[in-house]
Amino acid sequence: MSENLNPFTIAQQQLDEATAVLRLNPDMHAFLREPMREFHFSIPVKMDDGHTKTFRGFRVQYNDARGPAKGGIRFHPHETIDTVRALAAWMTWKTAVVNVPLGGGKGGVICNPRDLSPGELERLSRGYMRAIARYVGLTQDVPAPDVNTNPQIMAWMLDEYETITGHREPGVITGKPLELGGSAGRGPATAMGGIFTIREMAKHLGINLQGATCAIQGFGNVGSFATKLATEILGMKVIAVSDEFGGIINQHGLDYQAVSQHLKRTGKVEGTPNTEPLANEDLLTLKVDVLIPAAIENQITASNADKIQTRFIAELANGPTTPAADNILYDRGIPVIPDFLCNAGGVTVSYFEMVQNSYQFYWEENMINERLDALMSKAFHDVIHMAGDKKVDNRVGAYLVAVNRVAEAVRLRGWV
């Protein structure tokens, strides 16, 4: 039987497994299985050639029991409402596992930003914010960047929101440029948070990371900063990276600057001097100490999980591993730092950004990183202890920590 790769089905399956271990009240389980609210809308955009193209957009507020919904906006040609629902559910568990006072949400637009001119991209971004402006805000729902969106897009969305509402409210959106109230350290934050969990996992397993090898799938914001920080902070040797077009390898370690410069020049990592080409699927099965999927969902599946050769996996992407692959990895004794723990650094610094926006006073980058380290390390150990106590894999352990917190907030509010 072929595997069901619908991300929302997967997110629900993961929750079902965790609620069985927790023996959660069935009414609570039913409530947590579905998004609380979702918006589907059209975004008509005047294209450069004069015609109007209509894009479809979504915003899902999965759960806001612990605080305003929080989560990024993706621009992706294969976006679906079920992907956005799954990502919004994972945001709910993510903010809960690091214990920041936020809920979970996500947004998406079906589009290929590579096909849009800068003007079209700006009009699409502003159109997205116009569609959701009355449903977002510092106390309701706070968007952020995700796949194919960036600080400039956040700036356009912020400006559109403030133009509509007539007041300044920088905390309505995070991942902004520094000049508009962004936070120091937000750019590298997702990768930085992942680096802290990798350091803790290596300590836990007794692995020396100095000179240890690593392969990273994806070279967007997260994958590229992970390459830089794994080398600079952990002293690791990143031997392979990839983007959507293909990968590169050098057994002696890649030079982050060289890869970035080549990517800037050509739009691809392939062809970087002193590297050999490598197929994306071969990157995942390389023999390395740490494997980091940092691209998109459904990459480690029933068809390749038995070929993975790594000491542990650090999931910087959202949803890279399917439930069937999880079972194979668990049986093979390959530990995973699950996505909504490993990649929680981004939303954690987004929370710091909201705090700084609220009291209009800004912190230095080293203070951000110290506070990020404290929250990520605490979350890591909460999860590892839970998984150990209940004899479950780390993903189920992370769900147990997170679902308990969300369910308690829902119960205290008297919703269920």
350 forms part of the interface with ligand GLU (CB under 6 A): yes
193 forms part of the interface with ligand GLU (CB under 6 A): no
To ligand GLU, the closest distance from the beta carbon of 144 in angstroms equals: 3
Size of the site for ligand GLU (CB under 6 A): 12
- Specify whether the CB–CB gap between 73 and 39 falls below 8 A: no
343 forms part of the interface with ligand GLU (CB under 6 A): yes
CB closer to ligand GLU, 278 vs 341: 341
To ligand GLU, the closest distance from the beta carbon of 235 in angstroms equals: 26
346 forms part of the interface with ligand GLU (CB under 6 A): yes
CB closer to ligand GLU, 45 vs 347: 347
Spatial separation of the C-alpha atoms in residues 244 and 1, rounded to whole Å:
28
347 forms part of the interface with ligand GLU (CB under 6 A): yes
317 forms part of the interface with ligand GLU (CB under 6 A): no
- Specify whether the CB–CB gap between 272 and 254 falls below 8 A: yes
Q: Which among 65-73, 200-208, 245-253, 405-413 is the span making contact with ligand GLU, rule CB under 6 A?
A: 65-73
* Active-site residue (options: 46, 53, 94, 106): 106
224 forms part of the interface with ligand GLU (CB under 6 A): no
Residues 6+ apart with CB under 8 A from 188: 225, 228, 229
Of 70, 228, 395, 405, which one interacts with ligand GLU (CB under 6 A)?
70
318 forms part of the interface with ligand GLU (CB under 6 A): yes
- Specify whether the CB–CB gap between 350 and 70 falls below 8 A: yes
71 forms part of the interface with ligand GLU (CB under 6 A): yes
Task: Report 85-124 residues binding ligand GLU (CB under 6 A).
Answer: 94
Q: Which among 61-69, 301-309, 341-349, 397-405 is the span making contact with ligand GLU, rule CB under 6 A?
A: 341-349
221 forms part of the interface with ligand GLU (CB under 6 A): no
Q: Which among 67-75, 132-140, 235-243, 299-307 is the span making contact with ligand GLU, rule CB under 6 A?
A: 67-75
Spatial separation of the C-alpha atoms in residues 250 and 273, rounded to whole Å:
10
Of 174, 217, 275, 299, which one interacts with ligand GLU (CB under 6 A)?
174
Task: Report 144-163 residues binding ligand GLU (CB under 6 A).
Answer: 144, 146
29 forms part of the interface with ligand GLU (CB under 6 A): no
Active site residue 228: no
Instruction: Please state the φ and ψ torsions of residue 138, each to the nearest 5 degrees.
Output: -55, -30
Catalogue the active-site residues.
106
Tell me which residues touch ligand GLU (CB under 6 A): 70-72, 94, 144, 146, 174, 318, 343, 346-347, 350
